[in-house]
Amino acid sequence: MADFPATVVDKAAWTDLQELDEHGEGLTDYEIDLVESLTKQLRAGAMLSDKQRAKLDEIREERL
């Protein structure tokens, strides 16, 4: 099982972001920046918005 930083509340999003970071192929600069930004937000204890979650799901569908 994955280790989560103590501040991460949205563990499902964290897991998806880590998977995309490790296994995503051909990410654009925009997608890389988005993954980094969302990761920082989750580390700060935030939950993803519905719009952010939809974009993450879209990127994962295309890149994994």
Segments making up each domain of the chain, as ranges: 29-64
pLDDT at 2: 64
pLDDT tens-digit map of 9-20: 999 999 999 999
Give the long-range contacts of residues 21-26, CB within 8 A, separation 24 or more: 23/64, 24/59, 24/60, 24/63, 24/64, 25/63, 26/63
pLDDT at 3: 84
Residues 5 and 28: their CA atoms lie apart, in Å, by: 26
pLDDT tens-digit map of 27-61: 999 999 999 999 999 999 999 999 999 999 999 99
Residues 2 and 37: their CA atoms lie apart, in Å, by: 20
Residue 24: CB atoms within 10 A of its CB come to 17
Residue type, 17: L
pLDDT at 8: 97
Say what the pTM is.
0.90
